[in-house]
Amino acid sequence: MPSMLRDGSRRDVLAAGGLAALAALLAPRMALADEKAVEAEIKKLYGEKKLESGRIKLDVPQIAENGLVVPINVEIESTMTADDYVKAVHVFADGNPQPGIVSYRFTPECGKAAAATRMRLAQTQNIVCVAEMSDGKLYSTKSEVKVTIGGCGG
Amino acid sequence: MISRRQFLQATAAASVIASASGLGPLGRAAAQQRLSQADISRFDALGRLTILHITDVHAQLMPVYFREPSVNLGVGEANGKPPHLTDKEFRAHFNVAAGSADAYALTSDDFVSLAKNYGRMGGMDRIATLVKAVRAERGDDNVLLLDGGDTWQGSWTSLKTNGQDMVDVQTALKIDAMSSHWEFTLGHERVKEIAEKAPFAFLAQNVRSLEWQEPVFEARKIFERGGAKVSVIGQALPRTAVANPRWMFPDWEFGIREDDIQKQVDESRAAGADVVVLLSHNGFDVDRKLASRVKGIDVILTAHTHDAMPGVLKVGETILIASGSHGKFLSRLDLDIRDKRVAGYRYKLMPVFSDAIAADADMKTLVEKIRAPFAADLSRELARTDSLLYRRGNFNGTFDDLICDAMRSERDAEISLSPGFRWGGTLVPGDAITFEALANATAMTYPNCYRTEMTGEQLHAVLEDVADNIFHPDPYFQGGGDMVRVGGMGYSMDVSKPVNQRISGMTELKTGKPIEAARKYVVAGWASVNQNTEGPPIWDVVEKYLARVKTVRLEPNTSVIVTGA
């Protein structure tokens, strides 16, 4: 997907009323992150290490029903034994004021590497998830969440 | 009610009129058709189980005209595939003769002359007749009657009775289960109240409490019919909280929840189900995709997108049915169940021609009783129309042009916005515009006609947002209805482009000047999903306008230019 980032027009519309439903959730004028900001965050943590695909089950809605509280569930496939477990999971958003959403740290005692929370999303954007395994391997996936003005339904 | 005999005479007379008035070959061919209740209900029965499906009735108790869309674009994988076929392409695909009764029921061209020949469609008393006939033929224990939802909204009586009129009709029809969407616009308390009391099952696997993600409604129910265990899983419109005001059901969350449907299917099989049916309000394209991803569904009864198809569509082993809207059709699906699986099926989309089907006396009495307290409002004539007034279609409809004109005129606005709802009946030239007809296109629980200022840039963002809700190539990202209708402004749309690149050439129609991004325009609209939207109900706005213009004449709307389809 191309980046969904745009200038401030979207926020102005939403604040204008009329069809706008999401005015309340939008931050006042401030710079929003982008794909590069997310890449930079990942680099800060893991340098140039390769990101592989797979193992991550990232469950976010295709369309947010309420951008203020968007549910996210993430689960990493792992035996969670002393010699093979998930060490950390980081979640980023490429269209919020700050790219960082949440970081989780796991030990083999956790039994499984799964977590759920709610996040606030300012606009349609990608949610990026990175998982660090005990052997140092990194896995990554991303999923787009659409934040829409709403209305006009069927 | 015209008796069958009178109907034939009327048709014969229409034939004469058609040739005399030079309606052309379509009009004549159509008028030469003969229709009877027996033709409509004739069916070569198969197996023991019959599933009847009706959906998107939108509270239409009485027969109506309903013109099918002339523009119904499919994007992505749905491009050019049924149900995204109209008129000639539709008739060619489904082998329907031009000018035939089926052409009138299923396509839009030559609608006015065909409407004169074939009359209104639907009416709950006619549907009751067909349902009773099938039950009598097959035996009560072998028939399952399922309602796909969008039943409790769309008329003055449903609005005024909080959907009770339709609940009473559903109860009298003895429906077994229903799905839902517009039902939620009655508010969460009312929906809960009906769901708990009704003698039928209100099934919705995909509605959860926001806080705890607990199921709000029964997800599925197993019925024993036709010697088989039939598991019916309910699916509400996944985008209800986006397409309609979330504040009306603030504690509920929706979504497609594909994994949970799979779980419901697997649990159904484990519980001994021979047949698994998804009673869906996803919309056709979402169901087409879902059928390719969720394993083990035998039948998906589709809804929401108001498509009517005279044949099934198969995705793998899953049969998809599309039963239309507004009571125009009743679907019959016979299943031959052997060794706990569907060994064969036979399907018919029964068109409910109100002049050919006798009214069921009990249902007729019930409908009269429901309507009696509102008779004065329903019959009040507001104006007459010289033009065909319809709504359904991706981009514009003349009924919406009328509403948009009324808003600009009565609310003193430069530009008007009217939502792209798929519901609302059709009026043919010469018809009276009664308050009932207006209510059929506007009756809903958030009708306020607002007046506000928006910049050109903001208008552009609104059009882009709505366009993406229809034309996102992945149906799971599509949100609701047809394109928002615009009064006072024209634009171009390239359907094939991604979001924020589809809309261009926005032009103020009055001056022919381009819409300026930074300039503020006075905009009127209705059906905002915002709480506490101020303004008179839209039907008051249109009624005032009609009282002034008295006769509606609308030129074809050419202000939206579509490419990339």
Whether the per-residue pLDDT at A119 is higher than 80: the answer is yes
Of A120-124, B165-169, B313-317, which range is least confident? A120-124
* pLDDT tens per residue across span B381-427: 999 999 999 999 999 999 999 999 999 999 999 999 999 999 999 99
Residues 6+ apart with CB under 8 A from B249: B184, B187, B188, B191, B240, B241
Q: Looking at this protein, which amino acid is placed at residue B29? A: A
Q: In sequence order, what E strands does chain A have?
A: 51-52, 56-59, 70-76, 86-93, 100-105, 113-119, 125-133, 138-145
For residue B520, give the chain A residue with the closest CA: A16
User: In chain B, which residues have their Cβ closer than 8 Å to the Cβ of A17?
Assistant: 450, 452, 528, 530
Give the strand order in the sheet containing A56-59: A56-59, A70-76, A113-119
CB contact under 8 A, B256 and A62: yes
pLDDT the model gives residue A33? 85
Residue A11 placed within a domain? no
Q: Is there a contact between B389 and B426 (Cβ–Cβ < 8 Å)? A: yes
Nearest chain A CA: its distance from B241 CA (Å): 6
Distance separating alpha carbons of residues B408 and B506, to the nearest angstrom: 17
Closest Cα to residue B102, out of B425, B329, B333? B329
Cα angle B95, B307, B39 (rounded to 5 degrees) comes to 50
- Coil, strand or helix: which one is B65? strand
Total-model pTM = 0.90
Distance separating alpha carbons of residues B325 and B327, to the nearest angstrom: 6
Q: Is there a contact between A27 and A86 (Cβ–Cβ < 8 Å)? A: no
Q: Residues A126-145: what's their mean pLDDT?
A: 96
Is any Cβ of chain B less than 8 angstroms from the Cβ of A68? no
For residue A48, what are the domain limits? 31-149
Of B254, B420, B423, nearest to A65 by CB-CB distance is: B254
**CA dist B300 → B130, B171, B183, B392, B423 (Å):** 22, 23, 20, 23, 22
Q: Are strands A56-59 and A70-76 parallel, antiparallel or unpaired?
A: antiparallel
Query: What ipTM was predicted for this assembly?
Result: 0.77
Cα angle B176, B180, B181 (rounded to 5 degrees) comes to 165
Give the mutation candidate from A4, A7, A63, A124 for the B interface (greatest B CB count, under 10 A): A63
Whether the per-residue pLDDT at A8 is higher than 50: the answer is no
Is any Cβ of chain B less than 8 angstroms from the Cβ of A142? no
Residue A53 placed within a domain? yes
Nearest chain A CA: its distance from B113 CA (Å): 28
For residue B281, give the chain A residue with the closest CA: A154
pLDDT the model gives residue A23? 38
Distance separating alpha carbons of residues B153 and B102, to the nearest angstrom: 27
* pLDDT tens per residue across span B461-516: 999 999 999 999 999 998 778 999 999 999 999 999 999 999 999 999 999 999 99
Residue A73 placed within a domain? yes
B380 — pLDDT class (breaks 50, 70, 90): very high
Nearest chain A CA: its distance from B256 CA (Å): 9
For residue A64, give the chain B residue with the closest CA: B242
* pLDDT tens per residue across span B511-556: 999 999 999 999 999 999 999 999 999 999 999 999 999 999 998 8
Residue A22 placed within a domain? no
pLDDT the model gives residue B1? 31
Q: Is there a contact between B59 and B166 (Cβ–Cβ < 8 Å)? A: yes
Neighbours of B63 (CB within 10 A): 25
User: In chain B, which residues have their Cβ closer than 8 Å to the Cβ of A61?
Assistant: 255
* pLDDT tens per residue across span B134-157: 999 999 999 999 999 999 999 999
Which A residues 83-122 touch B at CB under 8 Å? none
- Coil, strand or helix: which one is B382? strand
Radius of gyration from C-alpha coordinates of chain B = 23
CB contact under 8 A, A18 and B255: no
Distance separating alpha carbons of residues B182 and B204, to the nearest angstrom: 13
Distance separating alpha carbons of residues B513 and B1, to the nearest angstrom: 52
Residue A26 placed within a domain? no
Whether the per-residue pLDDT at B351 is higher than 80: the answer is yes
Q: How much of chain B, in percent, has pLDDT values that exceed 90?
A: 92
CB contact under 8 A, B453 and A149: no
pLDDT the model gives residue A149? 77
CB contact under 8 A, B480 and A63: no
Residue A20 placed within a domain? no
Which B residues 390-429 touch A at CB under 8 Å? 417, 419-423
Place of tokens 């018809």: B431
* pLDDT tens per residue across span B169-188: 999 999 999 999 999 999 99
Which token pair is B460? 């552009």
Task: Give the CA diameter of chain A.
Answer: 57
Distance separating alpha carbons of residues B446 and B539, to the nearest angstrom: 11
pLDDT the model gives residue A152? 62
Place of tokens 């088989």: B228
* pLDDT tens per residue across span B294-345: 999 999 999 999 999 999 999 999 999 999 999 999 999 999 999 999 999 9
Residue A14 placed within a domain? no
- Residue A124's CATH number: 2.60.40.2470
Is any Cβ of chain A less than 8 angstroms from the Cβ of B466? yes
Q: Phi first, then psi: what are they for B333, rounded to 5°?
A: -125, 115
User: In chain A, which residues have their Cβ closer than 8 Å to the Cβ of B283?
Assistant: 154
Nearest chain B CA: its distance from A38 CA (Å): 22
* pLDDT tens per residue across span A11-58: 333 333 334 433 333 334 567 889 999 999 999 999 999 999 999 999
Total number of domains constituting chain A: 1
CB contact under 8 A, B480 and A151: yes
Distance separating alpha carbons of residues B521 and B456, to the nearest angstrom: 7
DSSP symbol at B437: H
| Ramachandran quadrant class, B542 (left: phi over 0; alpha: psi -120 to 50; beta: rest) | alpha
Of A17, A66, A148, nearest to B469 by CB-CB distance is: A148
For residue B394, give the chain A residue with the closest CA: A154
Residue A87 placed within a domain? yes
Is any Cβ of chain A less than 8 angstroms from the Cβ of B453? yes
Place of tokens 């998107």: B56
Q: Are strands A86-93 and A100-105 parallel, antiparallel or unpaired?
A: antiparallel
Cα B218 to the center of its chain, rounded Å: 24
